[in-house]
Amino acid sequence: MSVLEIKKYPDPVLRRKALPVENVDGALQRLIDDMIETMYAAPGIGLAAPQVGESRRVVVVHVNLNEEEHPLIVLLNPEIVEYDGKVVSEEGCLSVPGYVSSIERAAMVIVRGLDREGRPVEIEAEGLLARALQHEIDHLDGLLFVDRMSPIKREFFRKRYMRRLKEPA
């Protein structure tokens, strides 16, 4: 396993709609293992394949170290099939380092996809897990959490973030 480079905004791979996973093979398993290693090393609670430069519909999520309550989740081709309620909470992103904002998301989601062996799974989630799943699935559709801000907040973010990128290290 190896730690991969996390792509940062405004890298174009973060804006592409990821392609569905067609084959569950050894190369995919290596990508999943590397994504898990990268997520833990970052450290983060979720990672989508586009964030490591792979335009494929793969996400890993681990919101809690308490394995019984929230084990590590690997999803291939995930989609939100149901959602309910609204909640606003602080959110950040490994691809947009150093920036957090209050983002509105569904309070509860039901997500369907495949596990890492290609078997169908359905997850009903609330709280931080629901937020993390929505955030990572957004990445698969070329969306970043900043796209969910109001237009004024988003423009303020872009100016401030781009100015920070131009500053010498």
Query: Could you give the residue ranges of the DSSP H alpha helices within 26-65?
Result: 26-41
- Please give the angle made by the CA atoms of 121, 145 and 102, to the nearest 5 degrees: 110
Report whether 94 contacts 51 (CB < 8 A): yes
3-state secondary structure of 157: helix
CA distance 56 to 76: 9
- Is residue 68 part of the annotated active site? The answer reads no
- Edge-first strand order for the sheet with 46-48 is 46-48, 58-61, 73-84, 108-114, 120-126
Q: Of the residues 79, 136, 155, 167, which is catalytic?
A: 136
78 close to 133: Cβ distance less than 8 angstroms: yes
The answer to whether the CB of 97 falls within 8 A of the CB of 42 is no
Please state, as a whole number, how many other Cβ atoms lie within 10 Å of the Cβ of residue 61.
27
Catalytic residues, by residue number, are 136
